[in-house]
Amino acid sequence: MDQIFDQRRYLIPFRSGLLPQIFTDTLVMGAGVAGASAAIEAARHGEVIVLAKGPVASSNTAWAQGGVAGVLRDGERPASGEGDTPDAHLADTLTAGAGLCDRDIASLIVDDADRALRHLIDLGMRFDRGEDGRPAPGLEGGHSAPRIYHHAGDSTGAEMQRCLGAAMAGAPAIRVFENCFAIDLLTPSDEPGSPVLGAITYHDRYGLQMLWARTTILASGGAGTLYRETTNPRVATADGIAMAYRAGATLGDMAFVQFHPTTLYLPGATRTLISEAVRGEGALLLDAGGRRFMSDVHPQAELAPRDVVSQAIMRQIAKQGGRHVWLDCRAIEAFDSRFPAIGAMLRRFELDPASDLIPVHPAAHYMIGGVRTDAATRTDVPGLLAVGEAACSGLHGANRLASNSLLEGLVLGRVAGEQAGLALASGTPRPGPTSIVSDIRPSDHAEIDLPDVRSSLRSAMWRNVGLERAGPRLRDAADMFDFWARYTLDKIFDDPEGWEVQNLLLAAALVTRAATWREESRGTHARSDFPAPSDAFRVHDLWRRGREQGEAKAVDSGDAAQLSAG
């Protein structure tokens, strides 16, 4: 990394002893599926504070149209999909991950799906059911059998957020701080291995606060707003990834960003997701001339893994000089009852899925890379756990299998909560007020327009670090980010807008450098100058603050080989 990105430990100057102090056993940063699952489990052992950057309902989880993948084996049996097994789910996950999944992690998660799904049902999760009253699984891209469970067709995330949110609200040991921006993780020193003791936060009403905790669980979500075209809510600005990097945690697989193949493409309109489940029900992708093209690309056609579908769409757009392809939903009976939220959204734009072709285009959807963790959700910084989209557990490899992310959040969120309970049981003392001083000299550089940096950064990421990449464009993007960083990372901001831009710049630089280093095409990472996968890059690339070069960790091995990734 360029030194400009590594010289700032904290985003703001502060003296810990002069700020309000709050104490808890476990601090959970994020209220989506991973954070809520962690908080619910940790609350069985002690006090928990959950930070939500905005309202709880604004998380990526709440926006998820797709379902949760898993094989139900006992108790609540599925209405269809009998004969499916966790081993088959594991095989599909490994295939989608293109050689970079950590098999043990993937096996742990798919094997625990039955328990996790039944626990959700016990909490009141309302899954769609068949005529016999049993949960009815659907089929999505990359899956060899129906094993995706939905609510109201396309509102699974909102229902899961409601269900888990109600469970948090009913737990006396949990306090939820909404509209609370986590600025940085707290460490007693800047030295490598210095433990995380909590976080410094900002609230419009209460200002800056010091939150001290035995265990801090990072579940802050993704980084979709790095890109001009994204399905993510505005709050997904890579804050957790950036603050973990500043605190000394290792990040992994940062080149891998998943693009969802089908978002509504209308000039001036928000890029609204059209769920993979629509293609699972029979929707087809057509080129500008109305010809189906995915059957020529992959044996699973429209239900191929997302990287395959997204890249095929972009090739069609480039070939025909257009801006989108068409999604043909006309063969789906009773579309509005099957997908009520999508149907209502389309009708707001005067589109009728029963008679109209829907213009669609890929958009950034899911951050596969993140804070590197082990099977117990531990990072390499003491006191810090990470789960969900902010983490890199190794489940997804180079490409996330559809609907595995909600399952990962449920399973590993619970694991993180258990780890917090173990820390409490071990007698780990609750951190007291520790003297932490952040002195930052005011910048001598000229002011720069923040909205312009944000907009330009997102456009540069889409053009140069998007679905198809090449060395010269990646290096151009890295140079741009270095230039903007000199005039942005040196500034002291006093509101979330400024901190978000600083976090986005750091994350953009990391993604770009990882993509430059990875001279191959694998999963979501496609290089036009290196179009084939390479065994030399069948490794997890690792990035840590202050390193002159990166480190690569062999897949399914504890051995690490030193490679020039800096």
> In the annotation, is 545 catalytic?
no
R_g of the chain, CA atoms, integer Å: 22
State both tokens at 512.
């770009």
CB atoms within 10 A of CB 89: 26
SS3 category, 467: coil
Copy the structure tokens of residue 83.
Answer: 């004969």
Helix, strand and coil in the chain, % to nearest 5? 35, 20, 45
The Cα–Cα gap between 421 and 408 comes to 20
Give me the sheet containing 560-561, strands edge to edge. Answer: 391-392, 370-372, 251-252, 539-543, 551-554, 560-561
Q: Which of 246, 306, 518, 527 is catalytic?
A: 306
- Helix (H) or strand (E) run with residue 239 in it: helix 239-246
User: Among candidates 416, 537, 392, which has minimal Cα distance to 44?
Assistant: 416
Contacts of 212 (CB under 8 A, 6+ apart): 21, 22, 23, 24, 186, 197, 198, 430, 431, 432, 433, 434
- Smallest Cα–Cα separation from 325: which of 386, 398, 263? 263
- Catalytic center residues: 306
